[in-house]
Structure 1
Amino acid sequence: MTGKHLALILPARQSPFTVGVRETNEPGPGEILVRIRSTALNPSDAKAQKRGIYVTKFPAVLGSDAAGVVEKVGEGVTRFDPGDDVFFHGAYDDNDLSTFQQYAIAVVDFAAKIPDSLSYDQAATLPLGIATATIGLYGKVNGLSLVPPWKHGGLGKYRGMPIIIFGGAGSVGNYAIQLARMSGFSPIITTASLRNTNYLKNLGATHVIDRYLSLPELKQAVERITSAPIHVIYDTVSIRETQEAAWQLLGPQGRLVVTLPSVIDDRQRVIHTNGNPHSEENWETGRQLWLHLSRWLEKGDIVPNHVETIPGGLKGIGAALERFEGGQVDGVKLVARPPETER
């Protein structure tokens, strides 16, 4: 296939976005070309543009989460055919793999078919959020190396063991709660705005604690729920205040997962994870996740984030990313529809 398509382009570090035209390239071995119907926005996209991090080559296309239709398959691809509805995890620093555009190349190891019960918008909420949750809990290098649900004995493996998840209403928090439920953790304690209580309990949280409590109040709330030592905490927020609070709640042999650089000087017990399955150390964990993800969605073991669609196609993304910097996204995943972009 030869042709051109529209993309949201970051011309230089920390520059404003512009909509431009890119070549639509062919998929290579182990790849598929996808016509993107929906792409989700993440805090990392806002940080890449505003703070000049994560991306090293310009002009750049951002975006890592997308869903759409297979247009063409590369050499050796047998799991997908043209016309399949798929969702996939894109990548920064290779503009062909990024998702803020109308067409992208997807690596088949990190792609799956969309179950009939899900829309493109819903499917697009999954990739980075569930990868970050999965790698943090089960990754051997950038995670706790827990036994994952896809391995024999993994389902319910940690029954009766408490877990705390900071930031349950965010995308990573949503998926961490659901994975913790599949792994058998109980109680599953999460912090969030209390307006999200029913939603998070439906995902699997047993207790929702007000995110605005002071540390002494938070400790008391946890002690009222369980007297068992806390061996696993996943801090999906990972600002200084939440990391320090999590560290205070952790049991003597416990370990803490953070999604931003650690402010705690203990590399044995604090793991700084990332949700990039394209890196060598995360590849196998990511591959296994994507082999099982469609089935989990079909069974209802995993459900997608709540969706808020943004208007304007690719042109609406820049303004929507500003909401992350202002802390104005809570309990939803922002999703843009590239086909709705006007020239």
Structure 2
Amino acid sequence: MSSAEQKALFIPAKQGDFVVRATSIPTPGPGELLVKVHAIGLNPLEWKIQKYGFAVETYPAIIGTDFSGVVESVGEGVTSFQKGDKVLCGGRWENKYASFQQFALAAADFAAQIPSSISFEQAAAIPTGVATAAIGLYQNGTFGAGLTAPWEQDGKGKYEGKPLLILGGAGSVGSYAIQLAKLSGFSPIIATASAHNSTYLQSLGATHVIDRSLDTAAEVAKITSAPVEVVFDTVGSAQTQQAALSVVAAGGAVILTAQSTLGDAVGEGKKVRTTFGSPYVPPNRDVGLALYSRVAEYLQSGAIQPNKTEVLPNGLDGIAAGLDRLREGKVSGVKLIARPQETA
């Protein structure tokens, strides 16, 4: 492999098996960074892309959206980053910008400096999870509840005294939603999870953790009599969606990370929104820009803590097995991380 080449994990054809191949190292264009990727965060959507063949039109394809590493070079017009900076990046499903490789391009707009207290592995667990949580809560339109973000004027603490319910609090999106809800002032912040994750979620800001095996609506009613105007369902099963709809108040919003099974006639003025955590989608750009400009500050202050992580062996070659575990539901409370520079 020449010095201008790298290793990347490809899907060679629609629904094909993952394979590691050599490919060229891209060159950053205006507003872009070239990043040597030290850590990759895995997301459930990635096994679905490979298995079902959606979201990607051109093959061979490199996928993956979450990565961290060191800036190798910057494109024209980039002033906020320089060679040697440690960064976390939100990628997209285009080969040069996807995360499943040793060198990737990143939009400077959707990259952030990594504080010294945060490892590459922790940093790679952040982009899609925190962006999905932020867009779901704060985007005003197709993909969100339209709440005032904590970084906006009078936004921090604005929702003091108002309850918020998060279904699936121990997942990546759920854990970031808890922390953003805390910044927004919600109280109580109620999350569902397995019992063994209760202490962890309370450390992030959840005031109450309901065992996910219990009747959610009944348990919420024991905690608060105030109307729950926003429910964020990060699980997305038919059962959790129905639970979300039963809890949310008239005129409130149910935010989903999966396609709705609730139909159109949900009644009582209740809104159901399926969020999409990419800041590259035009309706999400403003929230994405505002979020990424503050991620380093939030990490430095501890206002946002990264997910717990588990590092997979064998670099890029270990990703397929990790995605299999996600598909089989064998991952709880951690973000799976691959180190592409360790690829044999």
Of the candidates 286, 290, 293, which is equivalent to residue 291 of structure 1?
293
Q: Which amino acid aligns with 1:265?
A: G
> Which 5+ residue runs of structure 2 have no aligned equivalent?
none
CA-to-aligned-CA distance 1:238-276 (integer Å, 9 cap, x gap): 111110111011111211000111112348600111001
1:110 — aligned with what?
Answer: 110
CA-to-aligned-CA distance 1:80-101 (integer Å, 9 cap, x gap): 0000000100001x10000000
CA-to-aligned-CA distance 1:11-57 (integer Å, 9 cap, x gap): 11111100001111110000000000000100011111112222222
**Any runs of at least 4 consecutive aligned residues in structure 1 with deviations exceeding 3 A, and if so which?**
none
* In 1, Cα distance between equivalents of 2:91 and 2:216: 37
2:131 — aligned with what?
Answer: 131
CA-to-aligned-CA distance 1:49-75 (integer Å, 9 cap, x gap): 112222222111011000000000000
1:8 and 1:18 in contact (8 A); partners too: yes
Q: Which amino acid aligns with 1:222?
A: V
Q: Which amino acid aligns with 2:116?
A: D
* In 1, Cα distance between equivalents of 2:121 and 2:54: 27
Q: Which amino acid aligns with 1:231?
A: E
CA-to-aligned-CA distance 1:290-316 (integer Å, 9 cap, x gap): 001100000000000001000000000
SS in 1 for 2:70: strand
Are 1:70 and 2:68 counterparts?
no
Q: Which amino acid aligns with 2:286?
A: E
2:312 — aligned with what?
Answer: 310
* In 2, Cα distance between equivalents of 1:107 and 1:219: 42
* In 2, Cα distance between equivalents of 1:332 and 1:273: 22
1:187 and 1:206 in contact (8 A); partners too: yes
SS in 2 for 1:56: coil
1:2 and 1:26 in contact (8 A); partners too: no
SS in 2 for 1:322: helix
2:254 — aligned with what?
Answer: 256
Q: Which amino acid aligns with 2:43?
A: N
* In 1, Cα distance between equivalents of 2:19 and 2:327: 20
* In 2, Cα distance between equivalents of 1:21 and 1:278: 27
1:324 — aligned with what?
Answer: 326
> Where does 1:39-118 land on structure 2 (aligned, <5 Å)?
39-92=40-93, 94-118=94-118
Q: How big is the shift at 1:123? A: 0.4
Of the candidates 205, 230, 233, which is equivalent to residue 232 of structure 1?
230
1:182 — aligned with what?
Answer: 183
Are 1:275 and 2:277 counterparts?
yes
Are 1:340 and 2:309 counterparts?
no
Aligned pair count? 338
> Where does 1:156-171 land on structure 2 (aligned, <5 Å)?
156-171=157-172
SS in 2 for 1:251: strand
1:37 and 1:68 in contact (8 A); partners too: yes
Q: Which amino acid aligns with 1:261?
A: Q
Q: How big is the shift at 1:2? A: 7.2
Q: Identical aligned pairs, as a percentage?
A: 49
SS in 2 for 1:19: strand
* In 2, Cα distance between equivalents of 1:219 and 1:65: 34
SS in 2 for 1:278: coil
* In 1, Cα distance between equivalents of 2:282 and 2:244: 29
2:245 — aligned with what?
Answer: 247
* In 1, Cα distance between equivalents of 2:246 and 2:26: 51
CA-to-aligned-CA distance 1:103-130 (integer Å, 9 cap, x gap): 0000001001100100000000000000
Are 1:13 and 2:11 counterparts?
no
* In 1, Cα distance between equivalents of 2:211 and 2:242: 17
SS in 2 for 1:82: coil
1:39 and 1:121 in contact (8 A); partners too: yes
1:2 and 1:25 in contact (8 A); partners too: no
RMSD: 1.2
Which range moves more in the overlay, 264-273 or 231-240? 264-273
SS in 2 for 1:15: coil
Are 1:197 and 2:198 counterparts?
yes
Q: Which amino acid aligns with 1:124?
A: A
* In 1, Cα distance between equivalents of 2:216 and 2:122: 33
